[in-house]
Amino acid sequence: MGSLDRRARTGANAIGRWLVAHPRLSALAAGPLAALGFSPYNLWPLALAALALFVALVAHAPNGKSAAWRGWMFGFGHFTLGNSWIAVAFGYQANMPAWLGSIAVLLLAVYLAVFPALAALAGWWLAGRARTGWVMVPALAGGWIVAEWLRSWAFTGYAWNPLAMIALGPFERPGLAAIAQFTGTYALSGMVIGLGGCWWLAARWRERRGLAIALALLPVLALLVPRPLGEPREGTLRYTLVQPDIRQEKLNEREYFEENFARTAALSRPRDDEPRLVLWPESGIQDFLREGYPFRYYLRFNYLADPLASKRRIARTIGANALLLSGTQDLEFEDGALAGARNSVTAIDGSGQIRASYNKAHLVPYGEYLPMRDVLEPLGLSRLVPGAVDFFPGPGPRTLELGEYGRAGVQVCYEIVFSGQVVDRSDRPDYIFNPSNDGWFGPSGPPQHLAQARMRAIEEGLPVLRSTTTGISAVIDARGVVREYIPRHSAERRDGFVPPAHAPTLFARLGNWLAMVWAVLFCVIALVASRRARG
């Protein structure tokens, strides 16, 4: 045993020396390993080991510039793997070559890596001369919280896959992510950095065996020990959740519109006369439902050229005692000319009347609008979805008053990933409806999207109902537990009762100010400890 132990230590020391000798390559390798902690991989031990290495690399950087470069290399590798699903989207359009998808992923990673670089620089500076000790852990955690928050809104924001997602448990239990109601997602990300830091400290202090073992076990216990959730509560509002499994190559082609509607309608018909909420995905209705457009637009894009006929057909489909929430598109005109469109959710009752609508606010760059169109379009670049006009953004979160069908908050597709930006805090809804089209997100995008919807449920204490074209559709209760789901590439429906909302959580009251409080706390701890170390 002694010989084996010596050989293991020799091997570990050799690896350590290589990592020290090649810090940027080590950071580049650690980035994608950390991304393997996200769905659908869920390899959190590997992710925490990568984060432990990242903490070590920043702690041993000789200067701030070196720390920032190590942070950037980590981020470049991390976001390249974490956003690899974007490349798949380029396979569903004909305007640009599919290989541009891989280039787009790399270019996006070049930009997003700036935020881990800022976190690393901030952590290195906050820890001061004490950076090779425990002080580095809260210093980097505080810097990471602020950097992730900046990433969520800078240049319209890109909040996909915060590190907090590593803490999310399986469908039936939220795991450590349950504390997001008290921290917010970005503060939980800082705590995940802290868990990786525990393993770094355990390796550094291995001669102090008891402390090292405690530090090594702490992340395992935090992520694996079940927490009491309480009994699931049942609601009174009935729903029918529909996933038609309309593949991306057929979704926007006019010759398939009637077939697509028939698939969706067949899964939506009433089974009794009880009132119910019917939920269709983004792009669930291809016809324009608003009246007053120039007739040529109905003739060109609607299967039924008359919007009144379209609404009557929908009413016959859902039945008299139902209300439909579905993704739709509306047009905007200026001086009689088409100026743009809106990605909307429309509420239609059993008489064919439009009761309310919501316009998506967080639009997807290059998907729903082309930034710098005058520059990029002549270069052959275009949007990834059909259409020559850009979508206009809506005003932001709002609550739709739907009478006996409750008060609905709406977040269309990608909007649900923005922590603290999904609910009108002055007019709290009963539930959040999140229609989406994940058909072009590849195999990794849909489970990551669902995971982030679960985090919003935990933060806000609200159930989230997801209807998607190809999956994964789900009913998530206010604890972040997935009550029902429809797997990818299945045409199915789910019937049940909308889970009730919880009382407003601490995060629901404070929003991302709560995450900033945690960031300040970590940074103050690091500053005070580093000054004492200098003294």
Rounded to 5 degrees, what are φ and ψ at 447? -65, -30
451-488 burial, b at 16+ Cβ within 10 Å, e below that, comes to bbbbbbbbbbbbbbbbbbbbbbbbbbbbbbbbbbbbeb
Question: For residue 106, what are its two tokens?
Answer: 């790399």
Q: What is the mean pLDDT of residues 384-397?
A: 76
Question: Where is pLDDT greater, at 339 or 469?
Answer: 469
- State percent of the chain over pLDDT 90: 71
Cis upstream peptide for 116 (omega within 30°): no
- In 3D space, the residue among 162, 188, 168, 238 whose CA is nearest the CA of residue 465 turns out to be 238
Report the predicted TM-score, pTM, of the whole model to 2 decimal places: 0.92
Specify whether the CB–CB gap between 423 and 409 falls below 8 A. Answer: yes
Specify whether the CB–CB gap between 82 and 161 falls below 8 A. Answer: yes
pLDDT in tens, 298-318: 877 676 778 999 999 999 999
What sign does the dihedral 77-445-86-189 (CA atoms) show? negative
Q: What is the pLDDT of residue 103?
A: 86
- Residue labelled with tokens 């072009």: 440
Is 234 annotated as catalytic? no
Q: How far apart are CA 267 and CA 182, in angstroms?
A: 39
Specify whether the CB–CB gap between 72 and 115 falls below 8 A. Answer: no
Question: For residue 272, what are its two tokens?
Answer: 């009794």
Q: What angle do CA 29, 34, 40 make, to 5 degrees?
A: 125
CATH superfamily for 238-499 is Carbon-nitrogen hydrolase (3.60.110.10)
Q: How far apart are CA 499 and CA 9, in angstroms?
A: 53
20-24, 122-126, 491-495 — which is least confidently predicted?
A: 20-24
Question: For residue 60, what are its two tokens?
Answer: 């041993």
pLDDT in tens, 129-151: 888 889 999 999 999 999 999 99
147-164 burial, b at 16+ Cβ within 10 Å, e below that, comes to bbbebbeeeeebbbbbbb
Q: How far apart are CA 298 and CA 300, in angstroms?
A: 5
Confidence of residue 379 (pLDDT cuts 50, 70, 90): very low
Write the secondary structure of 381-405 as one string of H (helix), E (strand) and C (coil): CCCCCCCCCCECCCCCCCEEECHHH
Active-site hit among 148, 198, 311, 360: 360
Question: For residue 74, what are its two tokens?
Answer: 């980590």
Report whether pLDDT(291) > 60: yes
Of all helices (H) and strands (E), which one includes residue 486?
A: strand 482-486
Q: How far apart are CA 9 and CA 162, in angstroms?
A: 34
Q: Tell me the Ramachandran region of residue 97: left when phi exceeds 0, alpha when psi lies from -120 to 50, beta otherwise.
A: beta
Active-site hit among 148, 282, 368, 460: 282
* Average pLDDT, rounded, for the chain: 90
pLDDT in tens, 65-104: 999 999 999 999 999 999 998 888 776 665 556 677 788 8
Q: What is the pLDDT of residue 372?
A: 47
Q: Where are the beta strands (DSSP E) in 245-353?
A: 276-279, 322-334, 337-349
pLDDT in tens, 439-465: 888 889 999 999 999 999 999 999 999
The DSSP letter of residue 479 is T
Q: What is the pLDDT of residue 499?
A: 97
Specify whether the CB–CB gap between 31 and 76 falls below 8 A. Answer: yes
Quick one: the chain helix, strand, coil %, rounded to 5? 50, 15, 35
Specify whether the CB–CB gap between 331 and 306 falls below 8 A. Answer: no
In this structure, what is the dihedral angle of CA atoms 485, 488, 491, 495, given to the nearest 10 degrees? 10
Active-site hit among 148, 311, 368, 413: 413
CB atoms under 10 Å from CB of 232, counted, come to 12
3-state secondary structure of 497: strand
- Residue labelled with tokens 């959730």: 229
Specify whether the CB–CB gap between 155 and 108 falls below 8 A. Answer: no
Report whether pLDDT(210) > 80: yes
Is 148 annotated as catalytic? no
> CA dist 453 to 376, 415, 419, 435, Å?
33, 10, 10, 11
- In 3D space, the residue among 91, 104, 447 whose CA is nearest the CA of residue 249 turns out to be 91
Q: How far apart are CA 52 and CA 198, in angstroms?
A: 7
Of all helices (H) and strands (E), which one includes residue 93?
A: none
- Residue labelled with tokens 């070049």: 110
3-state secondary structure of 468: strand
Is 360 annotated as catalytic? yes
Q: What is the pLDDT of residue 7?
A: 55
